[in-house]
Chains A and B, each alone.
Chain A
Amino acid sequence: MLKYFLLNLLLTFVWVALTGQLNYSNFLFGYLAGFFILWMLTRHSNLKEKQYFYRVPKALVFTMYFFYDMMEANLRVAKDVITPNYNTTPGIIKYPLDAKTDFEITMLTNIIALTPGTMVMDIADDKSYLYIHTMYLRNKQKFIRNLKDRTETKLLELLR
């Protein structure tokens, strides 16, 4: 996993040094070319070796999905700010965590905090619960299930 990433970076730098143009588009092209070459070279090895080549497109899709989600939540909050009445129903709920290590919890917390309307207030001492403040709380079970399906499961299958 890490080995292929470093090899890919090395190929990128070789490409940039050979062509001599210091652009972001050139970096991107070098990365894609290196990715393709490594993919072709390892096509006969076992599935565990090839993990990296499935993970990069998945990370890209996840980033896109995250920005789409963030835009949608921003528009909802914007509508609420501009219209005269408050129709928010805020509340703090307890959210059972599936993520185990510190890094996974940090990434999940950052993603929750960056979508407008939700915010992490505290973490339980044994790292098994998050306390989340949310602005649109209609139904507790539904909110928890929604967050788990839409964000946490995808993040964990990307990181593990």
Chain B
Amino acid sequence: MTDILIMVLSTLGAIFILIASIGIVRMPDFYTRLSITIKAATLGIGCILAAAAIHFSEFSTTTKVIAIIFFLFITSPVAAFLIARTAYITGIKLWDKSIVDELQDRYDNNNNIPNNRCKEE
């Protein structure tokens, strides 16, 4: 029973990590790459570490695994937010096919994206 659970969890984790890595290679611009990769990889690593916790099933190991997962889930949004903001300030452009950019008037970047292509209902 635990063997099957370990196999399922590690397979799920490996698939999520593979998706994240394919995404980081073939997505068109920096922001879409960032918004795909960090979360999928975090979820995949959570799955793999949960498989490790099930395999050992000791109190100390489970505590360690919960600490790592909690830490990853707290820090990865903060890191993504910081690096996205820095990238926007340093002037990395959005993808050409982006619809709307409402952050444009806060910082004076020339992203050349018209501000009204989105349906306003």
Chains A and B directly touch (beta carbon < 8 Å) = yes
Whether A140 pairs with B118 at a CB distance below 8 angstroms is: yes
Contact of B62 (CB < 8 Å), options: A24, A74, A114, A117: A24
Whether A116 pairs with B102 at a CB distance below 8 angstroms is: no
For A93, the chain B residues whose CB sits under 8 A away are: 100, 102, 118
Mostly, the B contact residues are helix
Whether A119 pairs with B22 at a CB distance below 8 angstroms is: no
Q: Whose C-beta in chain A lies nearest to the C-beta of B42? A: A114
Whether B99 pairs with A116 at a CB distance below 8 angstroms is: no
Whether A110 pairs with B36 at a CB distance below 8 angstroms is: no
Whether B100 pairs with A91 at a CB distance below 8 angstroms is: yes
Whether A78 pairs with B32 at a CB distance below 8 angstroms is: no
- Does A160 interact with chain B (Cβ within 8 Å)? no
* Tally of A interface residues using CB under 8 Å: 39
For A74, the chain B residues whose CB sits under 8 A away are: 16, 39-40, 43
- Does A122 interact with chain B (Cβ within 8 Å)? yes
For B29, the chain A residues whose CB sits under 8 A away are: 90
For A118, the chain B residues whose CB sits under 8 A away are: 35
- Does A113 interact with chain B (Cβ within 8 Å)? yes
Q: How far is the CA of A137 from the CA of B99 in the complex (A)?
A: 8
Whether A82 pairs with B19 at a CB distance below 8 angstroms is: yes
Whether B100 pairs with A121 at a CB distance below 8 angstroms is: no
Residues of chain A touching chain B, judged by Cβ–Cβ distance below 8 Å, are 22-24, 70, 74, 77-78, 81-82, 86, 88-94, 109-110, 113-122, 124, 131, 133, 135, 137-142
Known A119-B81, A140-B121; 7 more pairs at CB < 8 Å:
A22-B59, A74-B43, A81-B27, A89-B98, A92-B103, A140-B118, A140-B120
Give 28 A-B contacts (CB < 8 Å), ordered by A residue. A22-B59, A74-B16, A74-B39, A74-B43, A78-B16, A81-B26, A86-B27, A86-B97, A89-B99, A90-B95, A90-B99, A91-B100, A91-B101, A92-B101, A110-B77, A113-B39, A113-B80, A114-B76, A116-B36, A117-B36, A119-B31, A119-B80, A119-B81, A121-B85, A131-B102, A135-B36, A138-B119, A142-B121
Residues of chain B touching chain A, judged by Cβ–Cβ distance below 8 Å, are 16, 19, 22-23, 26-29, 31-32, 34-36, 39-40, 42-43, 59, 62, 73-74, 76-77, 80-81, 84-85, 88, 94-95, 97-103, 106, 118-121
